């Protein structure tokens, strides 16, 4: 149990395109999900906390107008990278916790490449 699914797993697109990444909790409800970005050979960096039914909380230095987060249901959060540029190329990962006293469960990530 406690599966977090991300889609797509890999996307290549042209500069200036907007890209949407979905994060779903398949067998549990998640009022809170987290979005991370990871560059090659580096650690995960928290970008934002996605809150169901309310605005996301962004970490310092993360542009909220650039990385739009929507958490419209208890099982789905989306991250939209707007007007993506090559420097936005990275590995994006989401996570959610099934409940208290449970560890975080992570999606398998989305590799985003902007040409």
Partner 1 sequence: LAKTTQPISMDSYEGQEVNITCSHNNIATNDYITWYQQFPSQGPRFIIQGYKTKVTNEVASLFIPADRKSSTLSLPRVSLSDTAVYYCLVEKNTGFQKLVFGTGTRLLVSP
Contact status: 32 vs partner 1 (CB under 8 A): yes
List the one residue out of 92, 72, 94, 96 whose CA is nearest residue 81: 92
Write down the least CB distance from residue 10 to partner 1, Å: 9
Write down the least CB distance from residue 66 to partner 1, Å: 20
User: Among 11-19, 62-70, 73-81, 92-100, which window interacts with partner 1 (CB under 8 A)?
Assistant: 92-100
Positions 53 through 82 that interact with partner 1 (CB under 8 A): none
Write down the least CB distance from residue 65 to partner 1, Å: 21
List the one residue out of 45, 35, 28 whose CA is nearest residue 97: 28
Contact status: 21 vs partner 1 (CB under 8 A): no
What is the Cα–Cα distance from 68 to 50, expressed in whole angstroms? 10
> Residues 19, 21, 37, 107: which binds partner 1 (CB under 8 A)?
107
Q: What is the DSSP string of 34-93?
A: EEEEE-TTS--EEEEEEETTS--EEPTT--TTTEEEEEEETTEEEEEETT--GGG-EEEE
Would you tell me which residues interact with partner 1 (CB under 8 A)? 4, 6, 31-32, 34, 36, 43-46, 49, 91, 93-95, 97, 100-109, 111
């Amino acid at each position: 149990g406690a599966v977090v699914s991300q889609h797509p797993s890999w996307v290549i697109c042209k500069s200036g395109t907007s890209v949407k990444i979905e994060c779903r909790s398949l067998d549990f409800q998640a009022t809170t999900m987290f979005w991370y970005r990871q560059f090659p050979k580096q650690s995960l960096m928290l970008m934002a906390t996605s809150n169901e039914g309310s605005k996301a909380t962004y970490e310092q230095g993360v542009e909220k107008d650039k990385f739009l987060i929507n958490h419209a249901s208890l099982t789905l959060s989306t991250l939209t990278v707007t007007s993506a540029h090559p420097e936005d190329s990275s590995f994006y990962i989401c996570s959610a916790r099934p409940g208290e006293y449970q560890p975080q469960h992570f999606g398998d990530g989305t590799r985003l490449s902007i040409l």
